[in-house]
Amino acid sequence: DTGVSQNPRHKITKRGQNVTFRCDPISEHNRLYWYRQTLGQGPEFLTYFQNEAQLEKSRLLSDRFSAERPKGSFSTLEIQRTEQGDSAMYLCASSFPGLAGLTETQYFGPGTRLLVL
Amino acid sequence: DQQVKQNSPSLSVQEGRISILNCDYTNSMFDYFLWYKKYPAEGPTFLISISSIKDKNEDGRFTVFLNKSAKHLSLHIVPSQPGDSAVYFCAATSGTYKYIFGTGTRLKVLA
């Protein structure tokens, strides 16, 4: 049973550097989500893909953030010119469309913890 | 604007007793609710969900209750076990892909 995987698990970088995270969803799941979690808060929605199409981006996702999902499989989240405020846990989740009228459940990966010095 | 609130940041319960975790929401359009458990350094793990057409859903030791008129849901764990010690998040959605999470309740089950 392969769940959602994320790499790297931890990343320490200096302010101003670029970082890229990868997410591999559960294989049959065609929907993929990115969330960000800061200390003492719950996960906050960032963006959503259905197959390779990015269908929504939160206003939390500034111009320095870009996400891709080429070929509708794995996804990458890149942060350019990192700032100390970007320090957080970045979570990826995936889901399979439920039956008509039913909301599907999102399954989360272990997250990538980013620390910007 | 916190649409989903977990007002108790922590809860301690004796092993074998019932744990009750609470969650309140403000958006009446929410129609699907979930509970996730999170251990340190891991992602949230799905526990149980409930649709707004129901008021109760059970899965083993876990039961979720939904009171739509009060905009309140609760998670009951019976009996509580030390391995249940974790942070519990409730989440809600209005039939879409965007989950709105609460801030979490840290449960500690004492042996």
**Three-state SS string across A82-99, please?**
CCHHHCEEEEEEEECCCC
| 3-state class (DSSP) for residue A47 | strand
> Residue A103 and residue B101: Cβ atoms within 8 Å?
no
Q: Which residue in A31, A102, A108 is closest to B43 by CB distance?
A: A108
Q: What residue in A sits closest to B96 (Cα-Cα)?
A: A103
Q: Choosing among B97, B98, B105, B106, which should be mutated to test the A contact, i.e. which has the most A CBs within 10 A?
A: B97
User: What is the C-alpha to C-alpha distance for residues B56 and A59, in angstroms, rounded to an integer?
Assistant: 35
Q: Which residue in B43, B93, B100 is closest to A103 by CB distance?
A: B93
Q: What is the pLDDT of residue A101?
A: 55
Q: What residue in A sits closest to B101 (Cα-Cα)?
A: A42
Q: What is the pLDDT of residue B76?
A: 98
Token pair belonging to B65: 């209750």
| 3-state class (DSSP) for residue A102 | coil
Q: What is the mean pLDDT of chain B?
A: 94
Write the pLDDT tens digit of every residue in A6-31: 999 999 999 999 999 999 999 888 89
B48 touches chain A (CB under 8 A): no
Write the pLDDT tens digit of every residue in B56-94: 999 999 999 999 999 999 999 999 999 999 999 999 998
| Residue B41: how many other CB atoms lie within 10 Å | 11
The answer on pLDDT for A1 being more than 60 is: no
Where residue A93 falls among pLDDT bands split at 50, 70, 90? very high
* Percent with pLDDT over 90 in chain A: 75
| 3-state class (DSSP) for residue B84 | helix
Token pair belonging to B63: 């039961």
